[in-house]
Homo-oligomer: A and B are copies of this chain.
Amino acid sequence: MTREERFHKIAKELGYSFDGEIKVGGNYSPLIQHQKIIYISGQIPRVRDDVVIQGALGSDISLEVGQVAAKICAMRAVALLLKHLGSLDRVQKVLRITVYVQSSQGFTQQSEVSDGASEVLCAIFGDSGVHSRTSVGVYQLPKNAPVEIDFVVAVD
Protein backbone atom coordinates (compact mmCIF):
# COMPACT_ATOMS: atom_id res chain seq x y z
CA MET A 1 0.00 0.00 0.00
CA THR A 2 1.20 3.52 -0.71
CA ARG A 3 1.27 6.18 1.98
CA GLU A 4 -1.76 7.83 0.40
CA GLU A 5 -3.69 4.56 0.42
CA ARG A 6 -2.85 4.10 4.09
CA PHE A 7 -4.03 7.66 4.77
CA HIS A 8 -7.37 6.97 3.09
CA LYS A 9 -7.72 3.62 4.88
CA ILE A 10 -7.30 5.28 8.29
CA ALA A 11 -9.73 8.05 7.31
CA LYS A 12 -12.29 5.38 6.47
CA GLU A 13 -11.69 3.56 9.75
CA LEU A 14 -12.17 6.82 11.67
CA GLY A 15 -15.30 7.53 9.66
CA TYR A 16 -14.28 11.02 8.58
CA SER A 17 -13.29 12.60 5.30
CA PHE A 18 -10.32 14.94 5.31
CA ASP A 19 -10.68 15.95 1.67
CA GLY A 20 -12.46 19.25 2.28
CA GLU A 21 -10.95 22.69 2.15
CA ILE A 22 -9.15 23.45 5.40
CA LYS A 23 -10.03 26.99 6.40
CA VAL A 24 -7.94 29.46 8.26
CA GLY A 25 -9.26 32.23 10.46
CA GLY A 26 -6.59 34.94 10.65
CA ASN A 27 -3.41 36.39 9.25
CA TYR A 28 -1.65 33.07 9.45
CA SER A 29 -1.42 29.87 7.46
CA PRO A 30 -2.05 26.22 8.38
CA LEU A 31 1.26 25.28 6.74
CA ILE A 32 4.48 27.17 6.06
CA GLN A 33 7.31 25.68 4.04
CA HIS A 34 10.77 27.22 4.23
CA GLN A 35 13.38 25.46 2.18
CA LYS A 36 12.92 21.77 3.05
CA ILE A 37 11.19 22.21 6.42
CA ILE A 38 7.42 22.46 6.90
CA TYR A 39 5.80 23.95 10.00
CA ILE A 40 2.15 22.96 10.49
CA SER A 41 -0.06 25.12 12.71
CA GLY A 42 -1.73 23.65 15.77
CA GLN A 43 -4.42 21.22 14.62
CA ILE A 44 -7.54 20.44 16.62
CA PRO A 45 -9.97 17.58 15.88
CA ARG A 46 -12.02 19.58 13.46
CA VAL A 47 -13.72 18.07 10.43
CA ARG A 48 -14.91 20.81 8.11
CA ASP A 49 -16.73 23.29 10.37
CA ASP A 50 -17.16 21.07 13.40
CA VAL A 51 -14.86 20.28 16.27
CA VAL A 52 -16.05 16.69 16.40
CA ILE A 53 -14.69 15.88 19.86
CA GLN A 54 -14.81 18.42 22.68
CA GLY A 55 -14.05 18.54 26.40
CA ALA A 56 -11.27 17.77 28.85
CA LEU A 57 -9.47 14.51 29.48
CA GLY A 58 -10.01 13.21 32.98
CA SER A 59 -13.56 14.52 33.26
CA ASP A 60 -15.54 15.00 30.03
CA ILE A 61 -13.99 12.37 27.78
CA SER A 62 -12.19 9.05 28.18
CA LEU A 63 -8.60 8.24 27.27
CA GLU A 64 -9.84 6.21 24.31
CA VAL A 65 -11.84 9.14 22.92
CA GLY A 66 -8.87 11.43 23.52
CA GLN A 67 -6.70 9.10 21.46
CA VAL A 68 -9.22 9.29 18.60
CA ALA A 69 -9.06 13.09 18.87
CA ALA A 70 -5.24 12.91 18.61
CA LYS A 71 -5.58 10.68 15.55
CA ILE A 72 -7.85 13.23 13.88
CA CYS A 73 -5.33 16.02 14.57
CA ALA A 74 -2.61 13.92 12.94
CA MET A 75 -4.83 13.09 9.97
CA ARG A 76 -5.53 16.79 9.44
CA ALA A 77 -1.78 17.43 9.35
CA VAL A 78 -1.28 14.63 6.83
CA ALA A 79 -4.17 16.00 4.74
CA LEU A 80 -2.44 19.40 4.72
CA LEU A 81 0.84 17.78 3.66
CA LEU A 82 -0.87 15.85 0.88
CA LYS A 83 -2.59 18.96 -0.43
CA HIS A 84 0.57 21.07 -0.26
CA LEU A 85 3.05 18.54 -1.60
CA GLY A 86 0.84 16.69 -4.07
CA SER A 87 2.26 13.38 -2.82
CA LEU A 88 3.01 12.00 0.63
CA ASP A 89 6.10 10.36 -0.85
CA ARG A 90 7.81 13.74 -0.56
CA VAL A 91 7.72 13.52 3.27
CA GLN A 92 11.24 12.67 4.35
CA LYS A 93 10.90 12.71 8.14
CA VAL A 94 8.48 13.87 10.81
CA LEU A 95 10.83 15.76 13.13
CA ARG A 96 8.71 16.93 16.03
CA ILE A 97 5.17 16.99 17.30
CA THR A 98 3.99 18.97 20.32
CA VAL A 99 0.79 17.63 21.85
CA TYR A 100 -1.35 19.84 24.09
CA VAL A 101 -3.98 17.89 25.99
CA GLN A 102 -6.87 19.73 27.68
CA SER A 103 -6.63 18.10 31.10
CA SER A 104 -8.69 18.06 34.27
CA GLN A 105 -6.99 18.13 37.61
CA GLY A 106 -5.20 14.87 38.33
CA PHE A 107 -5.11 13.62 34.73
CA THR A 108 -1.54 12.56 33.98
CA GLN A 109 -1.88 10.30 30.90
CA GLN A 110 -1.01 12.98 28.34
CA SER A 111 1.59 10.68 26.74
CA GLU A 112 -1.01 7.97 26.24
CA VAL A 113 -3.30 10.46 24.47
CA SER A 114 -0.39 11.42 22.20
CA ASP A 115 0.07 7.77 21.24
CA GLY A 116 -2.99 8.15 19.01
CA ALA A 117 -1.16 10.70 16.86
CA SER A 118 2.12 8.80 16.89
CA GLU A 119 0.37 5.63 15.71
CA VAL A 120 -1.18 7.43 12.75
CA LEU A 121 2.15 8.97 11.70
CA CYS A 122 3.99 5.65 11.91
CA ALA A 123 1.17 3.74 10.20
CA ILE A 124 1.32 6.10 7.21
CA PHE A 125 5.02 6.98 6.98
CA GLY A 126 6.73 3.95 8.56
CA ASP A 127 10.20 4.72 9.88
CA SER A 128 9.97 8.23 8.42
CA GLY A 129 7.03 8.84 10.75
CA VAL A 130 9.04 8.23 13.93
CA HIS A 131 9.35 11.66 15.56
CA SER A 132 10.41 13.50 18.68
CA ARG A 133 7.46 14.38 20.88
CA THR A 134 6.40 16.62 23.74
CA SER A 135 3.11 16.02 25.57
CA VAL A 136 1.73 18.50 28.10
CA GLY A 137 -1.58 19.02 29.86
CA VAL A 138 -3.07 22.48 29.36
CA TYR A 139 -6.01 24.19 30.98
CA GLN A 140 -8.03 25.23 27.95
CA LEU A 141 -7.82 24.81 24.21
CA PRO A 142 -9.47 26.77 21.39
CA LYS A 143 -13.09 25.73 20.72
CA ASN A 144 -12.98 23.45 23.77
CA ALA A 145 -10.86 20.95 21.80
CA PRO A 146 -9.47 18.07 23.89
CA VAL A 147 -6.18 17.97 21.94
CA GLU A 148 -4.12 20.32 19.81
CA ILE A 149 -0.98 19.22 17.95
CA ASP A 150 1.59 21.07 15.88
CA PHE A 151 4.21 19.52 13.61
CA VAL A 152 7.65 20.07 12.10
CA VAL A 153 8.30 17.94 9.01
CA ALA A 154 11.27 17.57 6.65
CA VAL A 155 10.50 17.14 2.95
CA ASP A 156 12.51 16.33 -0.17
Interface residues of A (CB under 8 A from B): 25-32, 34, 37, 39-42, 58, 92-93, 95-98, 100-101, 103-111, 114-115, 118-119, 121-122, 129-144, 148, 150, 152, 154
Taking A42-B134, A96-B39 as contacts, is the C-beta distance between A140 and B110 under 8 angstroms?
yes
Contacts of A106 in B (CB 8 A): 140
Q: State how many angstroms separate the Cβ of A137 from the closest Cβ of chain B.
A: 3
Contact B28 A133 (CB under 8 A): yes
Q: Which residue of B lies closest to A106 (CB)?
A: B140
Min distance, Cβ A80 to any Cβ of chain B, angstroms: 10
Report chain B residues within 8 Å CB of A130: 27-29, 32
Contact of A32 among B132, B140, B144, B148 (CB under 8 A): B132
Q: A130-B32, A136-B148 are in contact. Are A122 and B42 (CB under 8 A)?
A: no
> How many angstroms from the CA of A135 to the CA of B140 in the assembled complex?
10
User: What CA separation (Å) do A81 and B138 show in the bound complex?
Assistant: 28
**CB neighbours of A27 from chain B (8 A):** 115, 118-119, 121-122, 129-130
* Complex Cα gap A130–B150 (Å): 16
Residue of B nearest to A119 (CB): B27
Query: How far is A14 from B59 in the complex, measured between Cα atoms in Å?
Result: 37
Q: With the chains together, A139 CA to B106 CA distance in Å?
A: 9
**B139 and A139 form a contact (CB under 8 A):** yes
18 more contacts with CB within 8 A, not counting A26-B133, A103-B140, are A26-B111, A26-B118, A27-B118, A27-B129, A34-B92, A34-B154, A41-B132, A58-B140, A96-B150, A103-B139, A105-B139, A107-B140, A108-B144, A111-B142, A134-B148, A135-B148, A137-B142, A138-B139
